[in-house]
Structure 1
């Protein structure tokens, strides 16, 4: 590989990538250290190229406390539909974040295939504990500050924290351009008020579901996957094809 390192195409890619230097030609490799340096540079460029193929990053967060156990299997089935829809969207990556028990909050790696995500979620067992939504928001902020996050989905049934602290972090997400889509299981009024405010502060959307509204949740989750990949234009295009989930999201995001 001779000549100067190509930079024109890379400069057109996302701003999250570092532009390779243009003032240094590739020099002949003459020793072990030079070989190592050359291979490291090639590895870095290959990694950057792969990252630019990602069309969106979506964080999927779950309340896995014991109160959700009765409907957990149904919720997993509904959420798996979103993962299958995500598989149809080239480049969409999803990270799983969940909390349960006494202070346990875990975050997965980024998944590029929906079936991997569904398998990871199927291994989660609900455990008693209080909500830790603040940790979900903190995780989202950390990821968004490192690299663009298209959206955060949160599914839960209650809220047992200081709502003002949650809203402060939600406001930060809003400033970073990360909408949150919060879906509430059941009708707890305290949770509903908090979830609606978080959605408002992040320019996202709120929805509720129960046994009779499972289909609506599935449609909403699939619409969020489309939004995370293609943005508002993709969501509008989906709505024009008659998709009910896309229409509901657009109505709330106005």
Structure 2
């Protein structure tokens, strides 16, 4: 889409979720906040759901697509949640959707995306999240990936800024890349968030982690603490790391 073309996320007349999702995913992510279709209702939290969509991610992308609806379900008891999908892939391609209020919209958006080869663009994702925080309240983001091919110090600087802004990052790491694990742990620490590893062959773990993160984004520390005290192991894991 050319730079002069009107941003489709600003069009509010779309009634069908699938048509809407197809349009919003044509807009490249910019360094300044894009216009959002609607605003979060009072009492609703906002969460950025960011994923690595490079070629190695196909199994985990499919898994995330299957379990993403559980974020909305977990957040419903805490006032609800609006979620924005952000992903990168290919050659310098990094995109963001509008904020969506149900798993149907997010699932439809994810179904239209194919993984492609490319290097990680975590820095662009973090800068975008910083811009979204400037546009309105944003308590947390989730990042799901398996690798890190950027300068850790550069990422750490932006993560530290997000921490000062009160935006906590939940980094969910698939695979055994030691460099990525060390970086993701540090980025989570700098934001005041949490890190957890998972295996794409065990879908229940990622689903539980997403539920816990969504609970925090919708209801804050108390909601996550209530979930932990009710016996949720992943909620306890995240809560134990958070500042």
**Superposition TM-score tier, normalisation by shorter sequence:** 0.7 to 0.9
Change beyond 3 A, Cα 1:51–1:75: closer
Consecutive unaligned residues of structure 1, counting only runs of 5 or more, are: 1-46
- Report the TM-score when normalising by structure 2: 0.80
Q: Does 1:232 align with 2:221?
A: yes
The equivalent position to 1:200 in structure 2, one of 189, 194, 215, is 189
Q: Does 1:253 align with 2:242?
A: yes
> Does the aligned pair in 1 maintain the 2:199–2:205 contact within 8 Å?
no
Q: Does 1:134 align with 2:95?
A: no
Return structure 1 stretches of 4+ with deviation > 4 angstroms: none
Q: Does 1:60 align with 2:49?
A: yes
Change beyond 3 A, Cα 1:232–1:111: same
Q: Which residue of 2 aligns with 1:182?
A: 171
Cα distance per residue 1:125-182 (max 9 Å; x no partner): 0000000000110110001112110101000010001111100000100000000000
Q: Partners of 1:51 and 1:70 in 2: how far apart? A: 32
Q: Which residue of 2 aligns with 1:169?
A: 158
The equivalent position to 1:122 in structure 2, one of 91, 95, 111, is 111
> Does the aligned pair in 2 maintain the 1:83–1:118 contact within 8 Å?
no
Query: Where in structure 2 are the equivalents of 1:7-156 lying within 5 Å?
Result: 51-87=40-76, 89-156=78-145
Consecutive unaligned residues of structure 2, counting only runs of 5 or more, are: 1-36
State the superposition RMSD in angstroms.
Answer: 1.9
Q: Report the more deviating stretch, 242-251 or 123-132.
A: 242-251
> Does the aligned pair in 2 maintain the 1:65–1:130 contact within 8 Å?
yes
Change beyond 3 A, Cα 1:92–1:75: closer
Q: Partners of 1:69 and 1:219 in 2: how far apart? A: 20
- Report the TM-score when normalising by structure 1: 0.76
